[in-house]
A and B are shown apart, each in its own frame.
Chain A
Amino acid sequence: MEKESLAPLAERTRDGDPAAFRQLVDATSERIYRLAFHLMRDRDEAEDVVQETYIRAWQRRGDLRDPHAVVPWLSRIARNSARDRLRWWRRRPDRARVEVESAAAVPAADAQLVEAERAAEVRRALDVLSEKHRVILLLREVEDMSYEQIAELLGLPLGTVESRLHRARAALASKLEKKR
């Protein structure tokens, strides 16, 4: 569902229409989940962030100024929810957060072991990347989102998406080169 068709739903949501809000959740939750997943890097945490996002969105629906910008508005709420959760995790004494979700299965052979080690290196390099670089890179390269979709999701101009992606790729490449 595109920006134009979301605007009437956003407007009706702002007026307190639960049916419109339901449709808005259906139309946007996948994008919000992808963002939350790469912010939290944990499926359960991402799910909690998505729920928290829509709870806050419904409670603060009156704050939505531009119905055409409902996706960036939701993504801002999601990023704030994710930051709150990460802060909460950091304050916990037993910071046993689940490790980053890995694409690699348990290695069975040497070649797989090498691949798994390299994947772990990439994840460590991602860890030290700034949040804005990491998220934009993963949305583009792993989620295969278009520049336009990323721009809409993050509420950024297209030019900023392109330049930020370029810097993010360069930053990750330099960190991986150093490890070689």
Chain B
Amino acid sequence: MMGAVMLGWIALQASTSPALQHLRTGLDAEKSGQPDAAIVEFQKAGELDPKLAAAFVDLGAVLIEKRDYAAAIPPLKHALELDPNLEATHRLIGYALLAQGYATEAIPHLEKAHEDDVLGIALYEAGRLQEASNVLQKAVARNPNDPELLYYYGRVSGLLSKQVFDELEARFPDSARAHEMMAQDYAALRDVPAAEHEFLEGLRLRPQTAGLHLELGELYARAQDWNKAEEQFRLETELQPGSAEAYYRLGEALLQLGKFGEARVALVHSDQLKQDMPETLYMLGKAAASDGDSALAQKCWTHVLKLENDTPLAAQAHFGLAAIYRKQGKTADADREMEQFRKLQRNAGQEDQSPK
């Protein structure tokens, strides 16, 4: 808008016509925070000299400031009829049109104004997702801390992803992946029987599909059906012997089932595949402690605390260590770990109200 204003000022320096006088008065009024007076002056300027583009541009700009987008569009269109190359005017009318929901109409103006941020949003609103994604990706790269841009970029990416999945489901409804996707939808709705049915159908169609057993196992785990979860995680480890995640999940299921020795084996394997994972180490410590190997538990939980020192997992590791030290008769060490546990609980706002 300031570009349009400057145009008006430059023109004013060289002329004293009545139209220009109103334009100058209008600019003064705008500068002094009187938009309504400015509007009247810009309108008079436009009436006196219908070819004075600056009057229409400034009128449109003030109306946009007043969020009267519908009223701003006609003068801005008129200004562009007088001078189609006014970049600032394209920007203004692009904003106004987009604000009114005319995304498709706004796009050419925003393109001419090189306004990528708003152009990306307009493309999204117009349903041109791929173009929107390209434009917003560049805009986010330039302004990585703009929450609006991040939101729209995320929305567009999600919709693009959904578009692809919808196409997959429409074109290949009986494919393993289509069933997998339906299963994921049902799982999100916590409809275990329907999700299970779709996962199993996917597996029937393509038994070797990577990740399907893992997902089905996770479904069973969320439903607390640990026997079935173990079976699926084990199948995933057979399919993907290099998957630390699959071994971790298998270890978790075995632990829940009270098969501590087997849980240790799975978790050790997971740890070997992907080292320094705090969750794996914590779980391994738990399996070891339950299996009576307090030395390994102590080692694992101490390792967790080297990786994390102020997380909920760290609090759990302190709690576990306190129990080990107490059993060993190391009261001072147990008390120290307990104090660390309590401190982290307090920091997380989880300590109960009981005076202790």
A-B complex is real: no
B contact residues vs A (CB 8 Å cutoff)? none
